Amino acid sequence: MFVDREKLEELMGKYYTAIYDLVRRKIARREDIEDIAFETFERIYLYDIDNEWAYLKKVANSLIADFYKKPKPSKPMACDPEELLRILIDRSSLPTQKKRQELQDYLRELAQKLPEPERTIIELLYFIDKPLRHKEIPGELDVSYPKYKQLYDSALTKLKKEIERYLN
């Protein structure tokens, strides 16, 4: 039995944020998180379920497991200045290609001004020919993964603040 369109929209309004947060705790890239969250709701569209939340969680966790079972490309996906721009700037306000190139150049300048080891993290992820993966960088810096994550988040916050100031 199919769930009607209104019911689906009601379910998304009620549970989308919770499903998104559930997936976000286990998946890093925003595009992958959104894909899994939407696919979760696509699957419930096919059934009339009594306990919606339990079913949605089960589907989301199943999709997350499937995501990790998929073979990954040999080159990390999120490792170029363009991807860094997508992380820092809201998708709806991405500028034209010419402006993006200008922003990428500005990002390189900003990255050079970051304190160590934040500068090194951003350079290793986005600005070298063979970027490293997130899991490889703590070993390069001789820090724990939680410390690395803290430094990475701090660098992104600083870059985002400067990019927003630059765009306004």
Task: Tell me the pLDDT tens digit for each residue of 73-101.
Answer: 544 444 556 667 666 766 556 566 667 77
Averaged pLDDT, groups of 10, the chain, 168 residues long: 67 88 89 85 69 86 86 51 67 63 83 91 83 82 86 89 82
CATH architecture of 81-167: Up-down Bundle (1.20)
Its pTM stands at 0.50
Compute the distance between CA of residue 33 and CA of residue 82 in angstroms, rounded to an integer: 19
pLDDT at 114: 92
Which pLDDT score, from 0 to 100, does residue 147 have? 87
pLDDT at 75: 42
pLDDT of residue 38: 83
Which pLDDT score, from 0 to 100, does residue 45 have? 61
pLDDT at 21 (0 to 100): 92
